[in-house]
Structure formats: structure tokens, C-alpha cells
Amino acid sequence: MRSASLCFVLICVHQGLIFPSGADRVKDWTDVVMVPEGTAVTLRCSDGPAVLSEQVTWMMMRPKENGWTSVFSVNTSRGVTGRLLSKLGDKIIQIFEDVSLQFTASANDGGRYLCLMMQGSETYREKITLLALVKLILAPAPPVPVNSTLRLEAQVSPVFAVAGGTWLSPADVPLLTVAPSPGTLLTKLPWVNHRDNGLYTCSIHISGQSSKSQYNFTMSVKVDENKVASVPNIIYDPTLSKASLAQSTVTLSCPSIHGDYVRVYWWCADCSKVLPKKVFQSDRWRNHMISTPKPRLQLQDNGENISFLLRPELDDAGQYQCEVFLNDKVYGQSTTVTVLKGNAKSSSSSLDLTCTYAMRSQVAKVKWIHIQRPNFQLPVRAVIGRLTASVALPVTPKTAGQYACTLQLKSGQTVRYTYNVPLTPTERPCCGSDLPAKATTDHSAEPPLPPAEPSAVLSALSLLLFVVPVVAVAVGMLLWRRGCCSSRQNVDVERTLSHYSGEVENIYENPEDLRQSSPHGAVYMDLKPTGEADVYKELDRYDPCCG
């Protein structure tokens, strides 16, 4: 009887090859059972009411296998009473009256389980159950030291049983969850303390058909406040040295690792025996970020590594150290930032160009130069951290132009501040009274005027060509009007004198007669000499051209 059953099972296995058997095939299961490793699991042959069958066969296929392996086969025509035992490898499987399986799941028990119910030579019911095993990892192991990075991880096998999932805090708040590898759900809690105690839940979403769409698994976290995690030695990258103009952008690099936790320390420039200040910290997993007291420091995260953008003022110079924590390791990157700031201040006698710099320990040299005349000797005053060049006023063609303050680091990097000094414009006197009584020229005191530009000469000629004709016309009109008045008055005088005296030659004989007998509208002329220079005055009340 036993051999006949075995023969029948072999026939069923051969017939079962028509079922999908590849590990990468379409999701062909009808149910998913997910349990933690090391716990008891029950696989049922049927979800419906019990039915009579002559033969029940259980087979399994592990994730990386391509064929079914027989677990056991039992003839149920006479019924199953009590509990049967079957051995699969080193595992004992229990078969109950409803032909369900029960065993303690281990790491290698995940995969598909096929139950065939046969009546005669025909299979009238089959069920494929996907058994997924979950391995929950808590590191470091409880009790967890303060300030350590806690890892909560769920590893599911087979990996294709998982459609997604997330970790939840004790307050049921979703935590950042990533999948570092297929079938793995990971979250972290950097720098834990007693506030992180509680029960954390991993909610796993099932892939494919299943009676349950998700499974939840919990882990308890207990932080030991009496135990503090030791900080390992920091692994440093080579120190960088950078220079920047004030309010320009400079990049502060961090180790090329996408870590769990980032913090940045700052040592002020040119300070001795000063403790560093924490100016930035970021918890990637809790989505928590603090940036004080450097608001000009901005985080740049491209998903692979991080860096910072700094728009420094003079007091932002110094050394910045970026520390990246990843699990139980710390990586560091230090950058020294030298800041150069320039300004100009004018007085009655000079224009002072000053460049101030901070982080002097990194500076090799600083100098002012005239860009157009590099060999021009500038009067320079230097104090610690400041260099001032003076330009005498008024600005001459020799001193006008662009000035540059160049700072060079010991690493060879340079940064430059430039300032443009325009030529002082010359003003001409606007009135004759402003001219000196005697024109003098002191060639020793004043530099010779530069030759006129061609454009200025052309402009002067154009203006002269326009003004000369206008002045000539105005003078001509004035002379014409004066001539008109003079000729008209002379004619009237001649007519009057000739009419009343009869002799033009002797006009000085009887002037009183002319005044008494002249008709209305006549011209009165007093032709008596008044001095060495004879001046004659004409009066005409009716001639508008004479004023």
C-alpha cells in the first residue's frame, strides 16, 4: 500500500511540472503567510469547507529552485485521525486532520508550498501558499547605550514577497525607511537617548494575492542611560584651504559618504585657545536640522553626498570641520576659509583703498597694484590684517585707473579685490571776473595737461561753426537798426534847419529861434560842444527803432 502511494505521488509530481516553476515567474500564489524566523507556522490546504478527497499531496519549492519537492502524500479516503509526522530534511512536520502543516520555521523554509487534492486521477483543488520569513535585527543589542546609532532592520525571504513597507515610531509616526537591498526595510535612530524608548513597528506590504495585505512586526527599544557609547576615532580627509571675497560663494566639502548624521564645527579666525562652536547639525532619519549661529551656511544634498554653501562676511572666516556619522564610524573633512573684504574712504587730500583679511595663518602675501601700471609705486600702510593704499587727490591721468588688492594663500590660491579710480574732471571759469589778474603757469606744481582727444576737438569745432554765424547775424541786425535810426534823424535835421534858417552852413547862429518856432513833432538837437569830445544826443519820441 505504501509503495502504491509513493508511485502515485511520483505520477502527481510529473503531472505537476505543468505548473510554473521558475523563481522569477508571475506571482502564482493564492495566499501569503509571513512569520518571524524561529516561530511556529501553520499552512492550510484549503480555506473553504472540508471536502472528501482520496489523496492529498504537499510539495514545496524554495526561492532559488526550479522544481517541486515532495513533502508528504497521504490517502484520505479512509480519513486522517490524530496527528501524523513527516520528516523533511532535519525538520519534523505535523499533519493534522484537515491536512494542514505545522512546523517551526527556519531561515531555509521560505518559499512556495503546494497542496493538491485529488479524486481518482484528477486534481480538483490546489492551493499555493507563499511562506515568507522575517528576520528582525536590532543593533546594538539591548540595552542600547546613549548617543549610539540604533539600527532597526527587517529582512524578508523570499524578497519577492515584499511590495513595500515602513517603520513606525512608538507614537505611530512614520520614520524614514530605505531598502539597502531587496527585501530589506531599514531605519535608524542616531544619537539615541531615553526619549527614544518604546515599541517600534515594521509594517510590511505584501506582494501579490493574499488574505492579508500587510503584516506588522514589533521590536522593543530600551536605552541604558548609565551607559554612553564611545565615539570612535575620526577618519580625516586631507585639509582644504580656500579663499573668498566677502559675500561671495564658497563651497565647504564633506566626506563623500551619505551618512546618518552630520554636524559642522567652526573655529573662529585668528583666535587662540578658543573652543569650537557647533554651527550645524542634521539628522537624516528624523528629518531634523539645526543651523546656528551661521545663517549664511546652507546645506546641499544631492542624494549621494553632502556639502555646504557659505556666503561669508569677514567674521565668518576660520576653520570648518564637517563630521559625518555612519553606523559606528565617523568621517571628517576640515576646510580653512580666508575672507578678503575691500572698501574705499575719501578725505580732502587722498582716497584710501583698504583691504582687510581674516585667517592670517593661511596667508602668504597681500599687495596693492595699479593694474594699468604695475610698476607704479603706491604709498601703502600695513597693519596686522589690513593693507591700505593712498591715492592723492585730485586724481591725475597718472593715478587714475583700476587698483587691485591681491591675496595669495600658502596653498597658492589667490583672490582679488578691485576698485576703479576715475580721473578728476577739470572745470573752466564761467565769468571774466573769476580770471586772475595776471595769468601764471607753474609747470613744476602742475602736470602738463593731456592732449585733447580727437572727439573733443571735433566737438569744439562744431560748436564754433554754429556760434560764429549766429553772432554775425545778431551784430548785423543791431548795426542795421542803428543805421536806420541815424539816417532817418539826419534827414529830418537837415530838412528842418534848411527850412527855418535858410543856411545849413551856419547852424550855430540862432538856435533859440529854432526852438521857439519849430512845429510839433520836430527833432531837437543841441549841437553845442560840451568838452574836448563833442557828444550829440538825438531825441525822437515817435521813432521806435531808437531807444
Between 80 and 128, the more confident residue is 128
User: Is residue 491 domain-resident?
Assistant: no
Query: Phi and psi dihedrals of 476, rounded to 5?
Result: -60, -40
**Pairing mode, if any, of strands 223-228 and 144-146?**
parallel
**Pairing mode, if any, of strands 380-383 and 329-346?**
unpaired
Residue 494 has a pLDDT of: 41
> Above 90 in pLDDT, residue 168?
yes
Helix and strand tally (H, E) in the chain? Answer: 3, 33
Tell me which of 338, 368, 390 is where a domain ends: 338
User: Is residue 286 domain-resident?
Assistant: yes
Residue 446 has a pLDDT of: 35
Q: What is the mean pLDDT of residues 22-43?
A: 82
Q: ∠247-416-396 over CA atoms, to 5°?
A: 115
Instruction: Tell me what the pLDDT averaged over the chain comes to.
Output: 78
> Do 312 and 378 reside in the same domain of the chain?
no
Q: What is the CATH number of the domain that holds 12?
A: 2.60.40.10
Nine-digit cell at 519?
512845429
User: Is residue 370 domain-resident?
Assistant: yes
> Do 333 and 343 reside in the same domain of the chain?
no
Nine-digit cell at 202?
515594521
> Do 307 and 360 reside in the same domain of the chain?
no
> Do 24 and 97 reside in the same domain of the chain?
yes
User: Is residue 448 domain-resident?
Assistant: no
> Do 216 and 254 reside in the same domain of the chain?
no
User: Is residue 193 domain-resident?
Assistant: yes
- Confidence class for position 322, pLDDT limits 50, 70, 90: very high
Lowest mean pLDDT among 79-93, 175-189, 527-541: 527-541
Residue 11 has a pLDDT of: 31
pTM flag (> 0.85): no
Q: What is the DSSP string of 337-381?
A: EEEEEEEEEE-SSEEEEEEEEE-GGGEEEEEEEESS-TTPPPPEE
- Confidence class for position 464, pLDDT limits 50, 70, 90: low
Tell me which of 395, 421, 447 is where a domain ends: 421
> Above 80 in pLDDT, residue 301?
yes
User: Is residue 483 domain-resident?
Assistant: no
The structural domain count of the chain equals: 4
> Do 161 and 174 reside in the same domain of the chain?
yes
Query: Phi and psi dihedrals of 172, rounded to 5?
Result: 60, 30
User: Is residue 470 domain-resident?
Assistant: no
546: helix, strand or coil: coil
First-to-last C-alpha distance (Å) of the chain = 157
> Do 331 and 356 reside in the same domain of the chain?
no
Q: What is the mean pLDDT of residues 287-311?
A: 81
> Do 276 and 396 reside in the same domain of the chain?
no
> Above 50 in pLDDT, residue 264?
yes
User: Is residue 405 domain-resident?
Assistant: yes
Residue 131 has a pLDDT of: 96
Locate all alpha helices (DSSP H) within 17-139, ordered by sequence. Answer: none
> Do 251 and 239 reside in the same domain of the chain?
yes
H or E, element range at 15: helix 2-16
Q: What is the mean pLDDT of residues 146-167?
A: 96
Residue 504 has a pLDDT of: 41
For residue 177, how many C-alpha atoms fall within 13 Å in the half-sphere facing its CB? 21
> Do 104 and 75 reside in the same domain of the chain?
yes
Residue 441 has a pLDDT of: 29
> Do 6 and 110 reside in the same domain of the chain?
yes
Tell me which of 228, 251, 272 is where a domain ends: 228
Residue 46 has a pLDDT of: 77
Task: Identify the bridge partners of residue 323 per DSSP, sorted by sequence position.
Answer: 263, 332
Residue 439 has a pLDDT of: 31
> Do 195 and 242 reside in the same domain of the chain?
no
CA neighbor of 64 nearest in space, from 160, 136, 203: 160
- Confidence class for position 461, pLDDT limits 50, 70, 90: low
CA neighbor of 520 nearest in space, from 497, 490, 542: 542
* CA–CA dist 93, 101 (Å, integer): 7
Residue 232 has a pLDDT of: 81
Domain limits for position 322: 234-338
> Above 80 in pLDDT, residue 412?
yes
User: Residue 384: CB partners within 8 Å, gap ≥ 6?
Assistant: 360
User: Do 5 and 77 form a contact (C-beta atoms < 8 A)?
Assistant: no
Between 347 and 96, the more confident residue is 347
* CA–CA dist 1, 9 (Å, integer): 12
Task: Select, from the ranges 87-96, 159-168, 459-468, the one with the highest average predicted confidence (pLDDT).
Answer: 159-168
Cβ atoms within 10 A of the Cβ of 59, count? 22
